[in-house]
Structure 1
Amino acid sequence: MGKKEKNLDENPIYNQVQTQALGLYLRQYETKEIADELEVNPRTVQQWISKFGWKKMRDDAPVELMLRQRIAYLLWIDRKHAEQLSELEMLLEQKHKRDEAAERKKRKASQSNGGNGTHRGRPNNKVKNDISGITAEMLAEFREKTFFQYQKDIREHKCNDSINEFRFYLKSRQIGLTYYFAFEAFEDAILNGDNQIFLSASRKQSEIFKNYIRRFALEIGDVELKGKDELWLSNGACLNFLSTNARTSQGFNGHLYFDEVFWIPKFQELDDFAGGMSIHAKYRTTYLSTPSTTAHEAYPKWSGPKELGIDITHKALKKGSMGADGIFRQIITIDDAIKGGANFFNMDKLRRKYPIKSIFDNLLRCVFLDDSASFFNITALLACKTNTSKWKDVHLEREHPAGDAEVLVGYDPRGGGQGEGADDAGLVVSLKPKKKGGVFRFLERIRLKGSSYEEQARAIKKITEKYNVVHLEMDVGGVGSAVAELVRKFYPSLKEVDYSPEVKRMMAYKAREIINAGRLQFGDDWDDVVHSFLMIRQHTTKASNQITMVSNRTKKGSHADLAWAAMHVLHWEPIDILNDNTTTISFS
């Protein structure tokens, strides 16, 4: 037995392709249909059916237990990839169909026992998303045992009609506010029957809200909520989960939760549309976000009109304060969360992870970046965000996501050290533009922290095996030369760049030209790439008085590695490609 097969046997949770195959098999797909759908050998599918006993699962009653276990497992994954989301929807639909079939069988048997095809008494029709068994006491018990004091304080704000119409929370990363607000909306929908709307910076972020709510229903009331883009509860409340497309943000009404507003492109336009969804007097509007920069369109809403002189310092907003413009604001830093009971942080570890003060303060202490010094513009960067699920020629869940399509790879090997304080390396994969002056579409990004030269080279080799790489470029100055030496052994055509003030300046100018022209696209959840570009600024060297590009980098760490890796990708394109009409350019 091969090593791979042995590992599959030992793993109680099937790998990605097997799980998808099982889902199709449970839906009565034939072996050949499954093989064609997943692009695997039919014999392989048949081996899985035999090895894992799938036929018995499908034929026997215990399949119900298996379905429930798998659904529960998927619900507890916070950040699901597209394949897991698709599987969850399929399994919930399968469970719903089985429940309906069992109910029909039960009614038929009951009618037969009643004589002459009639049924004595009212049929026991199962109600979809029946939350009638979830009581206020059950919700209160869950709330008290689950949330920390700073989260409970926010619920008090929600219950205070004098301040709850417009709430704006500026928060540290990873303190559980998305989790809390999902519960707040779930509780309100059950107790009051009110509609709830979640508007997020990306489709994946809105799915996090939805999956939290499904988990609450399953854990508190043993209810499996069904629905794709919206969840209708048995009491008439509807929960909608939207991403930031202004054209689809109309026609809904309810309490509005506007998530990660400082990372949303065209915020003002979207806010104008979204405002109509909570226009009824009873509906609340809640904004929440980690900070980006003071140049973002949402910043004026946070800071308030200048003439009102609203104090937005942490000291003024630590406990929350009602502004003269009618918006209740609160800042919750990581320090506030820890004091409020959050016991899952290690500050020493976080300081080692983010040794640069400006980055640490931005991510964890709610301090905005001043992008006036940044070479790149946040508005242009946020405009690069797109819904990558609409790319029909890309399948990110597959072994070869882009098939035979040509891709470009950039690598910034800034590191090679070991341990917490080691500098990070970044890698970016992009589809090659289909035509002169076309769009670069980023497919994948990887950050390697504290990896040895050999580990970095192995990571790059895996990328060359995963994609049809026609351009691989990396910096070979300093520690990069050691990684490059290993990479050349399996990718001889590696393009090597030795950074100089002139080279770095030209790379940055080229990247900015492409970004400002709207010729770069990446996933709408790639905020780390936006942040990385914002860390780059112009600098005049002391020795030669030359203008170059630098990032907030120390010997301990960096946060601009992904931007430099991306610039190596964009550096593939000649600097004058859009202006030179006399030269024939070959992309082969």
Structure 2
Amino acid sequence: MNDVAAQLQTDSRRQAKFLYWMGWRVTEIAEAIGEKEKTIHSWKARDEWDRADNVERIGGALEQRLVQLILKDGKTGGDFKEIDLLHRQLERQARIQRYRGGGTETDLNPAVANRNAGPKKKERRNEFSEAEVEQLTTAFVDGCFDYQLDWYKASNLRTRMILKSRQIGATYYFAREALIDAIKTGRNQIFLSASKAQAFLFRGYMQSFVRETLDKDLKGGDSIVLHNGAELFFLGTNARTAQGYHGNFYFDEFFWTHGFDELNKVASGMAMHKKWHKTYFSTPSTMAHQAYSFWTGERRNRGKPADKRIKIDTSHDALAGGHLGQDKMWRQIVTILDAERRGCDLFDIDELREEYSPDAFENLLMCGFVDDSASVFPLSLLQTCGVDSYVDWAGDYRPFAQRPYGDRPVWIGYDPAETGDSAGLVVVAPPSEQGGKFRVLERFQFKGNDFAAQAEIIRKMTQRYWVTYIGIDTTGMGTGVAQIVKTFFPSLVTFSYSPEVKAKLVLKAYDVISNGRLEYDAGMHDLTRSIMAIKKTLTKSQRQITYTAGRSEETGHADLAWALFHALHNEPLERPHTSARRSRLEINA
């Protein structure tokens, strides 16, 4: 193909014509292209070069260059930009020719036609043409990995339940699936997540998808209403707020919600009509969670005679490819290895095995359920901490503001990163009164930062909040981080880990949590997992009790948990208790 382009470039007769129109003399042209002057004069006469007007001369040059670029292999970004420019110039040339042939001013400037036009039809909000719907659908399907195509093929089934690895694109996929279904069918779509903050991830994915594919905005706030009347709702998992809706519903991270039984009764009622579909997807939590019997099918057997009970095989071998069970629920398990095998090339599995403990790798990435019986903080205890921060903290916490918590004090806990580890930072709002509740406003994890970079992250937090306390572990790299932090926060509190120090940190955290004094957004599953990882063990000497996160580099893991414990430690373990009864002294004049 490039040979053809080269031939066009060396077409002497065409080159001679363009050089002549550029103002070259015949003798100069002949010398430049290696032809006789007589030949150039002959071409000039036969092709009537002098009779060509400006439109023909410019149009010919545009056409030649455009054909060259179109036939070129291996086009660069600059080539595509030039092609677009040349097409627009050709359109302008065509308008000029229409005008010269007896046209009007409108031929030169199409915008003139709009001056005297009647009132325009108001564009409907979130409206999509048939061509745009087709474009969205094509982009959606083309962007799916093979295991996501399994979900797509099963989308006509009434109930889907998917146990999945983290970060394999489930939220991303179902946001796009639901949007296209709403556009095509007019059906409502309902998203239930642990909190509104988490539910709004679906909205963000939808808006990005439409913007990237069609270069237009999908408008909406707490819900999105389409031109056909379909509405997309984004709800936190609060039984009171989840009532009164109807449509297809998507239950995100259902294995991590508090009060699943009650919530599922409400949620499943939203899709009671046969035209609605139900989709549950989650990473696994513990076998003690209320959703576990729903996953295994045991809940269906409750109260049924022996001959009516069914057995659902929920092993990976049975469900890796997806299976429609006797209870008419389609189940699938997708581990990170399944995702990799079926086209997802976003992970380095060997690196992830190094970063996570065997237990964490099994739970987060291989769909294994956690045994939290040995945990100091079992899931059932931590679920009471979950709130919908968008709703419950709306009065004084604005996460997108420059100063999210205004001029109220916060405490920061930080667990520095070690080699191959992640660092954890937690921002905690202390109680405004004795015995009140702590609130985890934000949490962050960082990887691959040296101690100077880690200290800089903390410094930026002091600009975002009014920080009155910072607690850092000085084990390992923490010493270097602490030295820098002290330069801008001299009252820094440091911890040098020992069995006694760990015990104090854990016992204080347990006191706070067990007394219902800790709140964090229910969508912070990473914080929940981190706290669950803390277990009571014996030291190597077998003489003392200590607390670890389940692998050899204990202090370098469960980083969010230890960061939280550092912050909570600022309140003494023997906190003053307010008396339930107060005496009053009256002085009579």
Compute the TM-score of the two structures, normalised by the length of structure 1.
0.71
Work out whether residues 409 and 569 of structure 1, in 8 Å CA contact, stay in contact via their aligned partners in 2.
yes
2:14 corresponding residue in structure 1: none
CA distance in structure 2 between the partners assigned to 1:469 and 1:141 by the alignment: 50
Structure 1 residues 327 and 557: alpha-carbon distance in aligned structure 2, compared to 1, 3 A threshold: farther
- Give the CA deviation at 1:303: 2.0
The one of 490, 493, 512 equivalent to 1:492 is 490
1:321 corresponding residue in structure 2: 323
1:526 corresponding residue in structure 2: 524
The one of 303, 312, 315 equivalent to 2:314 is 312
Structure 1 residues 281 and 505: alpha-carbon distance in aligned structure 2, compared to 1, 3 A threshold: same
CA distance in structure 2 between the partners assigned to 1:544 and 1:211 by the alignment: 51
The one of 275, 282, 300 equivalent to 2:275 is 282
Structure 1 residues 432 and 366: alpha-carbon distance in aligned structure 2, compared to 1, 3 A threshold: same
Secondary structure, counterpart of 2:154 in structure 1: helix
Work out whether residues 134 and 221 of structure 1, in 8 Å CA contact, stay in contact via their aligned partners in 2.
no
Aligned residues: 457
The one of 285, 289, 299 equivalent to 2:292 is 299
Moved more, 342-351 or 193-202: 342-351
- Give the CA deviation at 1:458: 3.3
Secondary structure, counterpart of 1:426 in structure 2: strand
- Give the CA deviation at 1:371: 1.0
1:442-481 alignment, distance < 5 Å:
442-481=440-479
Structure 1 residues 456 and 145: alpha-carbon distance in aligned structure 2, compared to 1, 3 A threshold: closer
CA distance in structure 2 between the partners assigned to 1:368 and 1:557 by the alignment: 24
- Give the CA deviation at 1:132: 4.2
Report the identity percentage: 43
Deviations 1:350-375 (A, max 9, x none): 33433x12112222211122111111
Structure 2: stretches of 5+ with no match in the other structure: 1-112, 302-309, 581-589
1:84-233 alignment, distance < 5 Å:
110=117, 124-134=121-131, 137-138=134-135, 140-159=137-156, 164-218=157-211, 224-233=217-226
Deviations 1:477-508 (A, max 9, x none): 45434433443344333323332323322321
Work out whether residues 424 and 557 of structure 1, in 8 Å CA contact, stay in contact via their aligned partners in 2.
no
**Rg larger for:** 2
2:377 corresponding residue in structure 1: 376
Q: Which amino acid in structure 2 is aligned with residue 338 of structure 1?
A: E
The one of 436, 439, 444 equivalent to 1:438 is 436
1:333 corresponding residue in structure 2: 335
CA distance in structure 2 between the partners assigned to 1:376 and 1:210 by the alignment: 33
Deviations 1:508-543 (A, max 9, x none): 122122112221122333221111101100112342
CA distance in structure 2 between the partners assigned to 1:137 and 1:474 by the alignment: 54
Structure 1 residues 540 and 231: alpha-carbon distance in aligned structure 2, compared to 1, 3 A threshold: same
CA distance in structure 2 between the partners assigned to 1:579 and 1:360 by the alignment: 42
Structure 1 residues 458 and 195: alpha-carbon distance in aligned structure 2, compared to 1, 3 A threshold: closer
- Give the CA deviation at 1:182: 2.1
- Give the CA deviation at 1:269: 1.9
Moved more, 461-470 or 283-292: 461-470
Structure 1: stretches of 5+ with no match in the other structure: 1-105, 112-118, 583-588
Q: Which amino acid in structure 1 is aligned with residue 138 of structure 2?
A: E
Moved more, 396-405 or 365-374: 396-405
- Give the CA deviation at 1:168: 0.2
- Give the CA deviation at 1:556: 9.8
Work out whether residues 428 and 438 of structure 2, in 8 Å CA contact, stay in contact via their aligned partners in 1.
yes
- Give the CA deviation at 1:185: 1.9
2:108 corresponding residue in structure 1: none
2:348 corresponding residue in structure 1: 346
CA distance in structure 1 between the partners assigned to 2:288 and 2:428 by the alignment: 28
1:11 corresponding residue in structure 2: none
Structure 1 residues 564 and 151: alpha-carbon distance in aligned structure 2, compared to 1, 3 A threshold: same
CA distance in structure 2 between the partners assigned to 1:393 and 1:499 by the alignment: 35
Q: Which amino acid in structure 1 is aligned with residue 541 of structure 2?
A: A
Secondary structure, counterpart of 1:246 in structure 2: coil
1:396 corresponding residue in structure 2: 399
CA distance in structure 2 between the partners assigned to 1:571 and 1:156 by the alignment: 52
2:256 corresponding residue in structure 1: 263
1:407 aligns with 2:402: no
Structure 1 residues 234 and 457: alpha-carbon distance in aligned structure 2, compared to 1, 3 A threshold: closer
CA distance in structure 2 between the partners assigned to 1:477 and 1:250 by the alignment: 50
Work out whether residues 435 and 578 of structure 2, in 8 Å CA contact, stay in contact via their aligned partners in 1.
no
1:24 corresponding residue in structure 2: none
Moved more, 455-464 or 511-520: 455-464
CA distance in structure 1 between the partners assigned to 2:223 and 2:398 by the alignment: 25
Secondary structure, counterpart of 1:473 in structure 2: strand
Deviations 1:74-106 (A, max 9, x none): xxxxxxxxxxxxxxxxxxxxxxxxxxxxxxxx9
CA distance in structure 2 between the partners assigned to 1:213 and 1:230 by the alignment: 12
Compute the TM-score of the two structures, normalised by the length of structure 2.
0.71
CA distance in structure 2 between the partners assigned to 1:551 and 1:343 by the alignment: 30
CA distance in structure 2 between the partners assigned to 1:285 and 1:362 by the alignment: 25
Work out whether residues 441 and 520 of structure 1, in 8 Å CA contact, stay in contact via their aligned partners in 2.
yes
Q: Which amino acid in structure 2 is aligned with residue 527 of structure 1?
A: H
Secondary structure, counterpart of 1:207 in structure 2: helix
Work out whether residues 169 and 329 of structure 1, in 8 Å CA contact, stay in contact via their aligned partners in 2.
yes
Moved more, 176-185 or 277-286: 176-185
CA distance in structure 1 between the partners assigned to 2:201 and 2:406 by the alignment: 29
Work out whether residues 131 and 235 of structure 1, in 8 Å CA contact, stay in contact via their aligned partners in 2.
no
Q: Which amino acid in structure 1 is aligned with residue 373 of structure 2?
A: S
Secondary structure, counterpart of 1:227 in structure 2: coil
Work out whether residues 535 and 548 of structure 2, in 8 Å CA contact, stay in contact via their aligned partners in 1.
yes
Deviations 1:14-48 (A, max 9, x none): xxxxxxxxxxxxxxxxxxxxxxxxxxxxxxxxxxx
1:99 corresponding residue in structure 2: none
CA distance in structure 2 between the partners assigned to 1:242 and 1:143 by the alignment: 24
Structure 1 residues 581 and 238: alpha-carbon distance in aligned structure 2, compared to 1, 3 A threshold: closer
Q: Which amino acid in structure 2 is aligned with residue 531 of structure 1?
A: R
Structure 1 residues 458 and 178: alpha-carbon distance in aligned structure 2, compared to 1, 3 A threshold: closer
Q: Which amino acid in structure 2 is aligned with residue 427 of structure 1?
A: L
CA distance in structure 1 between the partners assigned to 2:250 and 2:326 by the alignment: 22
CA distance in structure 2 between the partners assigned to 1:302 and 1:274 by the alignment: 16
1:248 corresponding residue in structure 2: 241
The one of 220, 235, 239 equivalent to 2:232 is 239
Q: Which amino acid in structure 1 is aligned with residue 148 of structure 2?
A: Q
